[in-house]
Amino acid sequence: MNCEECDAPLTIPGDAIQGEIVSCKDCGASYEVKKDEASGLVTLKPAAKEQEDWGE
Amino acid sequence: MIRWEEKAIARAAEKSGVKVALVDIKEMEISLTGAGSNPKIAERVVLQRCVSHYRNLYSTAALEAAGHIVVNSLSTAWNSSDKVLCTLALKRAGIPTPETHVAFTEEGVMQALGKLGYPAVLKPAVGSWGRLAALLKDEDFARAIVEDREYMHPSYQVYYLQEYVKRPPRDIRTFVIGDKTVAAIYRTSAGDWRTNTARGGKAEPCKVTKEIDDISVKAAKAVGGRFVGVDLMESKDGLVCHEVNNTTEFKNSVPATGIDIPGLAVDFLASLDRR
């Protein structure tokens, strides 16, 4: 899968877990890992953008 | 979502043989009136890691009501995430903290600034990562900022105004787990008066002195925090605490200090489950 922002290839870590955030190495765009439990297929969807109430 | 921190905690738990389940609050609901919270949360001890302040607060409330031990508790979340309440808690506990005022209109803001002088710091009562924090350099600038905020959500018309503490170009973030300061970093600002690493601040190891440990543990205790990040500044009169962070991040701090913060957190949480 390629980054939707800059088209660079995205790397999914071999130990990626459901919901994990991975970033495009080129432009930093964030993606969330989606794992289909039945098939084991791993896809990426754009991560939610920072909201006003996010933080520590 | 699972950030570096959550994955590190999960890995630490696996390494220690501690059973852990990662639950995405976005994909579930929690009963407020039923017998349990949700079948997806079977564990007694819950580490709250929601990055959203409101999801964090309300899910904590619901989970505590259902009998879970949540770290951190609703009381801690409430009294640390809201800067006004946090300052009041620190003051009650006798912890040195910068002079701070709250105001609700331009008139009140100007009265507070008359006492604080310039520059002064304006922050939203609820906010993080330095977002919408402003350094008010003079009256004209202050009035312009307030005018902007008057058109925003009412929460931004709670003006949390603080003295600008003269300090080295850095602050200190400490990590308190249980009753111990386990690690500390200096956050050196990168051309910005804010030191948040989210804003480019650089993390460097800081020795946990007795003074740093004392004020950090007291600050954590002031809000009932069991796993928190405490923010300190080196003022001319000694250390002051300006904030306690309910869902502290530590991605930059682990490599900077070499301290296994996620491992120590897991050990502490496991000890709660054994009580």
The CA distance from B265 to B182, in Å, is: 10
pLDDT (mean) for A5-17: 89
Class for the domain spanning A1-47: mainly beta
Are the Cβ atoms of B247 and A56 closer than 8 angstroms?
yes
Instruction: Say yes or no for a CB contact (<8 Å) between B2 and A19.
Output: yes
Give which of A22, A23, A50, A56 to mutate to test B binding, by max B Cβ within 10 Å.
Answer: A56
Q: Across the interface, which of A17, A32, A53 has its CB nearest the CB of B52?
A: A53
What domains appear along chain B, each with residue ranges and CATH number?
100-163 (3.30.1490.20), 166-258 (3.30.470.20)
Residue B211 confidence (pLDDT): 98
pTM for the predicted model, two decimal places:
0.93
ipTM value greater than 0.95: no
Q: Are strands B69-71 and B45-47 parallel, antiparallel or unpaired?
A: parallel
Q: Note the helical H segments in chain B.
A: 4-16, 53-65, 74-81, 83-92, 106-116, 139-149, 210-222, 253-257, 261-274
Percent of chain B with pLDDT over 90: 84
- CB-CB under 8 Å, B131 with A52: yes
Hey, are the CB atoms on A17 and B7 less than 8 Å from each other?
yes
Residues 6+ apart with CB under 8 A from B221: B93, B179
Q: What is the pLDDT of residues B211-246, one digit of tens each?
A: 999 999 999 999 999 999 999 999 999 999 999 999
Q: What is the pLDDT of residues B17-45, one digit of tens each?
A: 999 999 999 888 888 988 777 777 888 99
Which residues in chain B land under pLDDT 70? 192, 197-199
How many contacts does A have with B, using Cβ atoms within 8 A? 50
